A and B are shown apart, each in its own frame.
Chain A
Amino acid sequence: MSPRILLSTTGRIVHQLRHDRRTLALMLAVPVLLLTVLYFMFQGDTPPPGIPSTFDRIGLIMLGIFPFVIMFLITSIAMLRERTTGTLERLLTTPLGKLDLLFGYGIAFGLMAAIQAAVAAAAAYWLFDLTTAGSTGLVIMIAIANAVLGVALGLFCSAFARTEFQAVQFMPVVVFPQILLCGLFVARDAMAGWLQAISDVLPMTYAVEALQEVGAHRDPTGAMWRDVAVVAGCVLVALVLAAATLRRRSG
């Protein structure tokens, strides 16, 4: 790995996004629009005092889910393009290291996710009066960690797709089960044992739990840091697996 190549690769990916204004606009606007819908969906919902409102509960989790889903999709398509247009093969004949490329994607899309999370959080807190016991900064940090998780899984999954059609199919396969089982629809301890066991091995579960910790506690808790560490560990594992799919020689 070389810091210089990592930096220029990150810059290159950001440049590519910058030329695609519509994608940028969608990335920033869509989470805010969906939060708006969510806010009005639960507007008539007034819980007894002491219980967080439904928007506080679901809106908070959504701040972590949006960046994960969007970054997963964008990364798997971007990496698939590198493979199908021959740029990946070309890059691998240059002094670029595999990790320069993978971390380049992680950092570039992580930066985009930071901006996206900041915009979405600003809307949630200021426009829709989202209330969390813990700080906004922690919410954004977890959202970014989740985005980078989406990037890492996208980099890995793109190796198993030959076409864009196949790549987008990985979204229901990889993303949906995590959303269903993360504790958003049914609390985890109310699930059947085997569902809970699956939930236990899905990384998003930990990101959502971390957000719930921030929602419920004024100061960062040990459980939250443990959850964040689990997400970070999953990012590393996914990146190592992704590196293993980058072959300098092919048939």
Chain B
Amino acid sequence: METAIEVRDLVVVRGKREVLHGISALIPRGSVTGLLGPSGSGKTTLMRAIVGVQIVKSGTVTVLGDPAGTARLRRRVGYLTQAPSVYADLTVRENARYFASLYGLGAVEADRAVVDVGLGDAARQLVGTLSEGQRSRASLACALVSNPDVLILDEPTVGQDPVLRDELWARFNALAAQGSTLLVSSHVMDEAGRCGQLLLIREGRLIAEDTPDGIRAAAGVQDLDEAFLRLIRAQDRTATTADGGR
């Protein structure tokens, strides 16, 4: 399968702390890849490095053949930050139309993106007056509006109701089927099953990179939550044995 994103030996230091310790991963084109791990594990930092807004200490990140953050990629990569980054003093529609205009797109595309995230009825509302979940969907609409080749979505489904979450995941998979590459972070394991591929990250290290079925087989259980727990325990045991042997 063709690779959309290649991360090689990525080391990131934030403040005085090393938060990513040499991560390598391949993300195939036209897929939904789940980035899973507890909060503070380095998910956001890895995503920022892929978007090209993170200063990295060493290692490389290549997106669609170009180094991450290259000017050319700004048209092709969409980024949803974890905290909704939209203008609170504009309406949902005005936000979407502004971000659409940055890509040379018009009101039609913007309004469609608003409807796609289920905010059609709230389009004329000021973002500042929306609920937390609605605000994060407004932000998502602004990331989807340009229909980018690569979409980096940092916890897009947090605080959404189950029906809506289901619809959003269906949309992510539909986008992947059309050839987009999505990297979606989450700390809810029940979303893992909807991804084509999973990256499990913990304390700045990648501890698993496989399909959901591959991970189930490796751990020997059906439940992904349980599977991850076993993988983490297994890794901790190896680490302890290694330390004890010294």
Asked if A pairs with B, the answer is yes
Residues of A within 8 A of B (CB): 4-5, 8-9, 11-12, 15-16, 19-20, 85-87, 89-96, 248-251
Q: Is there a chain A Cβ closer than 8 Å to B224's Cβ?
A: no
Stretch at the interface among B1-9, B73-81, B234-242: B73-81
Residues of B within 8 A of A (CB): 13-15, 51-55, 69, 74-75, 77, 79, 81, 83-91, 94, 98-99, 101-104, 126, 142, 146
With A and B bound together, what is the CA distance between A9 and B91 in angstroms? Answer: 15
With A and B bound together, what is the CA distance between A12 and B126 in angstroms? Answer: 13
Task: Find out whether the CB atom of A90 lies under 8 angstroms from the CB atom of B81.
Answer: yes
Task: Find out whether the CB atom of B74 lies under 8 angstroms from the CB atom of A95.
Answer: yes
Task: Find out whether the CB atom of A250 lies under 8 angstroms from the CB atom of B54.
Answer: yes
Task: Find out whether the CB atom of B85 lies under 8 angstroms from the CB atom of A90.
Answer: yes
Task: Find out whether the CB atom of B53 lies under 8 angstroms from the CB atom of A248.
Answer: yes
Known: A86-B81, A96-B102. A249 touches B53 (CB 8 A): yes
Task: Find out whether the CB atom of A19 lies under 8 angstroms from the CB atom of B89.
Answer: yes
Return 21 A-B CB contacts under 8 Å, by A number. Answer: A12-B87, A15-B90, A15-B94, A16-B87, A86-B81, A86-B85, A87-B87, A91-B102, A93-B53, A93-B74, A93-B79, A94-B102, A95-B103, A96-B102, A248-B69, A249-B55, A250-B53, A251-B13, A251-B15, A251-B54, A251-B55
Please give, as numbers and ranges, the residues of chain A lying within 8 Å of B84 by CB-CB distance: 86
With A and B bound together, what is the CA distance between A177 and B146 in angstroms? Answer: 47
Task: Find out whether the CB atom of A4 lies under 8 angstroms from the CB atom of B101.
Answer: yes
Closest to B146 in A: A94
Please give, as numbers and ranges, the residues of chain B lying within 8 Å of A16 by CB-CB distance: 87, 89-90
Known: A12-B90, A249-B52. A5 touches B102 (CB 8 A): yes
Please give, as numbers and ranges, the residues of chain A lying within 8 Å of B75 by CB-CB distance: 95
Task: Find out whether the CB atom of A89 lies under 8 angstroms from the CB atom of B69.
Answer: no
Task: Find out whether the CB atom of A92 lies under 8 angstroms from the CB atom of B53.
Answer: yes
With A and B bound together, what is the CA distance between A19 and B85 in angstroms? Answer: 18
**Which of B52, B79, B98 is the most central at the interface, judged by chain A CB atoms within 10 Å of its CB?**
B98
With A and B bound together, what is the CA distance between A4 and B99 in angstroms? Answer: 12
With A and B bound together, what is the CA distance between A155 and B186 in angstroms? Answer: 36
Q: A86-B81, A90-B85, A93-B79 given; name 20 further pairs at CB < 8 Å.
A: A5-B102, A12-B87, A12-B94, A16-B87, A19-B126, A86-B83, A87-B85, A87-B87, A89-B53, A89-B81, A90-B79, A90-B142, A93-B74, A94-B74, A95-B75, A248-B52, A249-B53, A250-B54, A251-B15, A251-B55
